[in-house]
Structure 1
Amino acid sequence: MNTTLRDLGIDEVDALVSLYQHLNAGDAPPSPEAVQAVFRHPGLRHFGVFEGAQLIASCNLAVIPNLTRGGRSYGVIENVVTDAAHRGRGHGQAVIRHAIAQAWTMGAYKVVLTTSRKDPAVWAFYERCGFDSGDKRAFVIRRPA
């Protein structure tokens, strides 16, 4: 089947939220206000791979203004997900490589990606996409419940 890769629009949020169940099963859907805020944010883009009309892979890219590195921005890729039935076919790599290319086009000097997955196969996947797991160390703090 034919696949396409493109930016997602607000009218595709239901398909995106449905796909996110493959990332974090059981997540509550966002409020309409949250959807509006996310899709209005000028530095945030969502990319999707479609097989026919079905969204099968996605990630988002935030490009953040910066005052170091000569004022060059940096990118952050998050929410990388491929429908479980479509994994292992290159769709995840394609959407990540697209996001990286968009970050370079937008003037970013680096792109950062973090994962909470502990599976070495997931880490190897990101390394095949060009990320260096030894370059930086990530620290995360979560808001208390």
Structure 2
Amino acid sequence: MAEVAIRDLGVGDVDALLALYEHLNAGDARPSPEAVKAVFAHPGLCHFGLFVGDVLTASCNLAVIPNLTRGGRSYGVIENVVTHVDHRGQGYGQAVIRHAIEQAWAAGAYKVVLTTSRKDPAVWAFYERCGFDSGDKRAFVIRRPATA
């Protein structure tokens, strides 16, 4: 059985990460090299990858955001949660999310927020199994209008 490990991702992992993102949002435009460098250099933003052997199998990112409420304690936002379609249901997604939550607590965050655009109740149940409470807050989203 292959070894499973979770680690921080860096610029050198971008090809594997973008390939994994095809299982999240198929057909997304590839970011420029400059955008990749800027994302990985952004303070407070971490990308975590779960590897089975040397294959990136699951990932998420965590932004830890400074805050002036709650006694000045930061909060975390987890986004871009994805597990390769061939490896779902094996606990890899939960493991990488738990890792991100632990990192948020280590950074002093008082809460972690996660949103999903998926409408599948099984996906919602997955996040609840990870410890998230769908009834605690309500999320609202606005997207930038397409430019002509």
Same fold (TM over 0.5): yes
Question: What do the CA deviations read for 1:88-134 (whole angstroms, capped 9, x no partner)?
Answer: 00000000000000000000000000000000000000000000000
The answer to whether residue 29 in structure 2 is matched with residue 28 in structure 1 is: yes
Which residue of structure 2 lines up, in the alignment, with residue 105 of structure 1? 106
Identity of aligned residues (%): 81
Deviation per residue, 1:6-65 (Å, 9 max, x gap): 111110001000100000000011111110110000100000000111100000000000
Distance 1:20 1:140 in 2: 21
Distance 2:29 2:57 in 1: 20
* RMSD value, Cα: 0.4
Equivalents in 1 of 2:41, 2:48: separation in Å?
15
List runs of 5+ in structure 1 lacking aligned partners: none
Stretches of structure 2 that go unaligned for 5 or more consecutive residues are: none
Match of residue 68 from structure 1:
69
Q: Does 1:53 align with 2:54?
A: yes
- Alignment of 1:7 with 2:11, yes or no, is no
Deviations 1:48-86 (A, max 9, x none): 000111100000000000000000000000000000000
The TM-score with structure 2 as length reference comes to 0.97
**CA–CA distance in structure 1, aligned partners of residues 38 and 143 of structure 2:** 21
TM-score (norm 1): 0.99
Matched length: 145
Runs of 4+ that moved beyond 3 A = none
Q: Which moved more, 1:3-12 or 1:56-65?
A: 3-12
